[in-house]
Structure 1
Amino acid sequence: MLQPLQLPKAGGTLYSYTPANATPFQLPSGGALRSRIAFSAAHVVSDPLADTDPLSDARIDWETTLAYRHHLWSLGLGVAEAMDTAQRGMGLDWPSAKELIRRSLAEAKSVNGRIACGAGTDHLKAASRVTLEQVESAYEEQCGHVEEHGGQIILMASRALAACAAGPDDYERVYGDILRQVSKPVILHWLGDMFDPSLRGYWGFEDTEAAMDVCLRIIRTHADKIDGIKISLLDAAKEVAMRRRLPASVRMYTGDDFNYPELIKGDELGFSHALLGIFDAIAPAAAAAIAALDAGDAASYSEIMEQTVPLSRHNFQKPTYSYKTGIVFMAYLNGHQKHFRMIAGAESARSIIHLSELFVLADQAGLLQDPERAARRMKAQLDLAGIGGGI
């Protein structure tokens, strides 16, 4: 029988909380989901026994990292590899990302799993002295690596381009040059500055409407080379407005971790597919919900998805870029890794109060797969924080 935990809340007081018994989701069987393309951006698992500096030279536990990708594929989800959820540019450098992409593409082929991989310019330092030619060369190198191993490219937003571009014409030039070279359609990636402050003013404008016009002009010019675009602006109205302006052949992939249920469900004029970091943490619920949508059961889809929103909004609270800590904490609670350690020491990016609330919201969403194990692991973190009592 589960015993109560003593959890902290703002102000330093404790309260008693007992997790509920989990009710398994009705998970899909028989391959990929059908009504929506659903990518989960996937985290990486650090090697806690690596005798290196975890801030500057963190190592990856390859076996556990790849096993998690197989877990996502088994649910019918796709994997968005080497993205910001994998701490790209925030602990995961290009040499490690390069190896991650190679290994994950090989694993995807072994199970016919859907996968797309981030290609960017993160081996360049984002500085005004970087030239457009260097940005293009960096994109070419990373895109070439993904295509060499048979992968689909997610053309990631570039800190270096944001730093050196003089205006929208430079974005159109760089993206045009890269898109003309790729061998198959890519997914563009528009990451708002709440996820990465270095990307402020992307596409040449801080005003979102003006930036959207530039992005849409690039998409229309190169529509044959673009599968879709993922936008992460945390603004449902802006996403819908852009979705309605896309060419018919170009998909919208929501990256909105606040409003994803309504955006994926859509309206009479269309819907968004998904490429979401929160799907890493809510994978069983996301798969069950979209499977319900596949079966024409929109009510069950909404019921399942909506119960995950409080968890997601809490996890992605400001500073938004620290959301990876909660993603990995969820994987730890659910037994997908044996420890709560992260590359670059990012496990320290959220407070014990934040993690305690995450635990409660995960439980209320039915996302603690083994509540007893999750409670033991939550208790271990409470002990580390010097909080007594509980089990």
Structure 2
Amino acid sequence: MPAHLVAEDTLHDAVGEYAALLDHFSGSSNLFADKFSTFITEETEEDVEYSPEVFTYVSGETAETLAQTIPDKDLESVVNLVVFILLQQESSKFETSVQEWFTNLITAQQFGDKVEKNKKKTLKVLSLISNLSAVYNLDVSATLKQWLLTQIVHLVRILDDVKILKPFVTNAENIIDSNSASEETRSLLVEAAQLYSTVDAQESLKLLQLAATKISPASPELIEKLIIKSLNTSTALDLTHLTSDSTITSSAPSALVTLLEQYHSLPTSEFAPLLASTSISNLDTTTVLSKNKTLTLLTLAQSTPVLTYSEISKALDIPETQVELVLIDAIKRGAIEGKINQIKSEFHVFGVKLIVKKIELQDWKDIKEKLLVQKKALGEIRSLVENVQKKNKKN
């Protein structure tokens, strides 16, 4: 049992402390102490035993009193004390009662859709998120973990401080692996992606990709949304991870997959007219074209240390008067480093930060096949080594 949840040595000690705190916060004289004493079934010098009804009482009736009376600064530690009390049951009963406890406690707070930005309410929400996270890290079922994450995301939305989701975002793939992936998990990832898009657009897209592809069966609707959102996101230049994912390419509309491949493989002079003629809805063609111009510029910059304005103008299908704007945009994106020489109408390339290798879908399939062959060969070598080691031990 994690030390941060263990408040006392025994159930009796914890119940006694909790009763005293409730009496203190509510201003009552031994009201809760007397109530808890009615659940005692056996008392010896060594220990005091309680009936199972004590857990029902804790998870049900005490939550509202605690929510209405406890000082905000004490909430986290007292909730941890309650969790310790509830942990003294069988695991299945603990999960039911701890879920009931948090439901009652959060409901009693009456947060509404958003909390006002003040120290007291912010501290209260942060404390509850910390408590829920502590229970999540216990050895509990996937169902409870799913529920806990849902409550955490709900509280983050109420608090309107999305940065708190960073640990969730970082470990999202592990969360899917450790939980029984379900439609509820998918919905949770989509909601988290939506919230996190204001903090980090590309991490938000990763969450959306996990939601669309890593939970079976894959969601064609989400995959289509993922591709369009990725194309529309100005900071997401390299999208080859989408074209290399067979789940995505086989589930998305063929016209959208083709456009995604053309976005990477064609220079702007060829891509622009195709983009202009597309009938794909919800596509921000201005952003997509701007990103393709940057990719085209990067392709040119990889082959020579100096680019003339006329070369850039021709490849990007723009007037020479607009070349500097494209260069400045690429530099701001962090995709390229260099120096603009206005007198000579040249751009001196110092470094290309983003290199997008154009690999077609068949190439990815060939690479995957070769990796599988190598994996099998390595497995056979490992078996030979293990057999030799066994023989040496016998000798």
Shorter-chain TM-score above 0.5: no
Q: TM-score if structure 2 supplies the norm length?
A: 0.25
Query: Structure 1 or 2: larger helix share?
Result: 2
- Ranked by relative contact order (alpha carbons within 8 Å, sequence separation 6 or more), the top structure is 1
Q: Whose Rg is larger?
A: 2
More strand by share: 1
